Amino acid sequence: MLEVHKINTFYGEVHALKDVSFTVEDGEVVAFLGANGHGKSTLLKTVCGLLPPSTGHIEFNGRRINHLPMHKIVERGIVYVPEEKHLFPDLTVRENLLMGAYIARARKEREKNCEMVFELFPVLEKRQNQIASTLSGGERQMLTIGRGLMSSAQLMAIDEPSVGLAPRLKMEVFDKIKEINEQQGLTIILVEQEVESTLAISDRGYVMKDGRIVFEDKSNNLSIDVIQKQYLA
Amino acid sequence: MQILVPLINVIISGLILGSLYAVMSMGLTLIYGIGRIFNFAHGAFILWGGYFTWFLCTKFHLNYGVSVVLGILILFPVGWVVDRLLLYPLRRKPNFEINAVIVTLGLAILLGNAGDVIFGTRFKTIDQLTEGLLRMGRFTITHHDIATLVITVAILLFLELFLRKTTLGTAMRAISQDPVGAKIVGINLDRLFAFTFALAAALGGISGVLIAPRFFITPAVGWETLFKAVIIVIFGGLGSVKGTLIGAFILGMLEAFISMYLGMFWVSPMWFILLIIVLFIKPRGLFGTWA
């Protein structure tokens, strides 16, 4: 479904991604693990079009996408769920969700998707007329994911969904991500630092260091200890 | 009764001024809120709204209402083209905010001088929308003032509904709150910037048409209206539609009272005094949220 070939991305002067290549198959949950500042988030931003690569190419469903503006990439079916939330603070929960279905393809399905999101996160339905800035941290994370679901995407790229959440909420968010993958059939790329929970819900994992992928394997084969001691320390 | 009659007349004239000023400043605040551009050419759009209407009314002997609509229909695409041609190329380059100031300032001068060349510098007048006077006992109000009030309130209501209820309007609010978030959901920012610019130019044009019968259309109108709109927008809070609306009505009312009881000469000084007081207490204006 997604094929990334030798991309290099610069963040200003910083060479943030160095010759990164990987693939994601239809229906998978693929995790990217590693310490802060080693290129995981940049990788997601590059795939989603927020930070186009300087060299290399990205193919989605067999068509090149790395030269496209971000709104075209969303049209193609990739949606980015950002770490820093980027919700619309003064819009209501419902308006935030409807904005998630802004692109033409999703607009037709927005009532159906809205119901699906409310089913997945009942708290959002209760708060649908509330202004987004009045939500708690956990609710905001759910709204960010919910807004992503509204775009009827095939591939969802989620950036550190557990950051800043209480342990119980972290578990809930990971469970929901698995649920989205299994029930909606959405393919997921997940960037995380919570090694154990991430490996538990993912099919494959890539470990990143200094802007490169250092190794990859099936999640079952990846050792939590090794990753934590050698790459997150 | 002796005191009441002039008082009510002043309040009515304050309401009319306020609604005119609201329409006049709204484009400025929209462009700032959504595109973070301080559009110095806004006054030029107001002036050109007046020019178009005058031109169509006097040279083609078109009916005022038709000229109004045509003027707006012309200014909307003009705004679109200005954004595409002048601002779009700068948007992805460094120092956009400063460059945009220089470009819009240059455009204001260009449009002003082009107006001088095309329409001449003579003072121009436009007839009132309708003639006649409505009497209710001792109160009188011209049909023109009633029409102005109805049109401006309709425009403001339309704008409010558009921003609150339509997907496009909600997307505009979304961009002003988090441009990166807007990109993430797949909003084509460039297209909405152009749309906002076009809408702002059309709003400026309408206000030019509406204020033209009250004042002479002269080349100076562009700068005078820009100056007033700037004060209103800063007073209400840059980028805030609600702030601009409330600011316009407060300052319009103030103008009506001052010109009645102190004289026109005192309007600008009093506006400034009030602006300074507000900025002392709320440095971002009444409803400003910009960082």
What local confidence, expressed as pLDDT, does residue B291 receive? 44
Cα–Cα separations (whole angstroms), residue A206 to A190, A199, B139: 10, 10, 80
This prediction's pTM? 0.91
CA distance A120 to B118: 63
The answer, for A74 touching chain B at a CB cutoff of 8 Å, is yes
Task: Order the strands of the A187-192 sheet from edge to edge.
Answer: A78-81, A155-159, A187-192, A29-33, A204-209, A212-218
Q: What are the 10-residue block averages of pLDDT along chain B, 291 residues in total?
A: 79 93 95 92 94 86 81 90 94 89 95 92 80 80 87 93 95 94 95 96 92 84 92 92 94 94 89 92 81 44
Best A44, A50, A71, A79 residue to mutate vs chain B (most B CBs within 10 Å): A71
What local confidence, expressed as pLDDT, does residue B70 receive? 85
Distance from CA of A126 to the nearest CA of B (A): 21
Among the partner-chain residues B174, B183, B188, the one whose CB lies closest to the CB of A88 is B174
What local confidence, expressed as pLDDT, does residue A215 receive? 85
What local confidence, expressed as pLDDT, does residue B290 receive? 52
What local confidence, expressed as pLDDT, does residue A142 receive? 92
Record: contact B184-A70, CB cut-off 8 A: yes
Which tens digits make up the pLDDT trace of A160-169? Answer: 998 888 888 8
Nearest chain B residue (CA) to A101: B185
Best B164, B185, B289 residue to mutate vs chain A (most A CBs within 10 Å): B185
Distance from CA of A105 to the nearest CA of B (A): 11
Record: contact B167-A102, CB cut-off 8 A: yes
Nearest chain B residue (CA) to A96: B174
What local confidence, expressed as pLDDT, does residue B121 receive? 85
Distance from CA of A144 to the nearest CA of B (A): 10
Other beta carbons within 10 Å of B219:
17
The answer, for A86 touching chain B at a CB cutoff of 8 Å, is yes
In chain B the domains, ranked by start, together with CATH numbers, are 4-281 (1.10.3470)
The answer, for A51 touching chain B at a CB cutoff of 8 Å, is no
Distance from CA of B187 to the nearest CA of A (A): 6
Distance from CA of B184 to the nearest CA of A (A): 6
Collapsed DSSP state (helix, strand, coil) of residue A20: strand
Distance from CA of B188 to the nearest CA of A (A): 6
What percentage of residues in chain A have a pLDDT greater than 70?
A: 97
Q: What stretch of H or E contains A30? A: strand A29-33
Per-residue DSSP letter, B10: H
Tell me the pLDDT band of A89, cut-offs 50, 70 and 90. Answer: very high
Which tens digits make up the pLDDT trace of A7-29? Answer: 999 888 888 888 999 999 999 99
Collapsed DSSP state (helix, strand, coil) of residue B125: coil
Nearest chain B residue (CA) to A77: B186
Record: contact A74-B178, CB cut-off 8 A: no
What local confidence, expressed as pLDDT, does residue B97 receive? 87
CA distance B72 to B205: 6
Nearest chain A residue (CA) to B165: A95
Beta bridge partners of A213: A208
Residue pair B40/B29 in contact (Cβ under 8 Å)? The answer is no
Among the partner-chain residues B167, B177, B183, the one whose CB lies closest to the CB of A70 is B183
CA distance A42 to A71: 18
ipTM: 0.91
Compute the CA torsion angle A47, A48, A52, A53 (nearest 10 deg).
Answer: 0
Name A55's Cβ contacts closer than 8 Å, sequence gap at least 6: A6, A7, A8
Best A13, A84, A102, A105 residue to mutate vs chain B (most B CBs within 10 Å): A102
B-chain residues within 8 Å CB-CB of A88? Answer: 173-174, 177-178, 181-182
**What DSSP string describes A87-127?**
--TTSBHHHHHHHHT-SHHHHTTHHHHHHHHHHH-HHHHHT
Other beta carbons within 10 Å of A35:
13
CA distance B77 to B52: 14
Record: contact B181-A95, CB cut-off 8 A: no
Nearest CA to B40 out of B273, B236, B233, B244 is that of B233
Per-residue DSSP letter, A22: E
The answer, for A60 touching chain B at a CB cutoff of 8 Å, is no
What local confidence, expressed as pLDDT, does residue A218 receive? 81
Residue pair A70/B187 in contact (Cβ under 8 Å)? The answer is no
Residues in chain A: 233
Nearest chain A residue (CA) to B176: A88
CA distance B232 to B271: 9
What local confidence, expressed as pLDDT, does residue A140 receive? 92
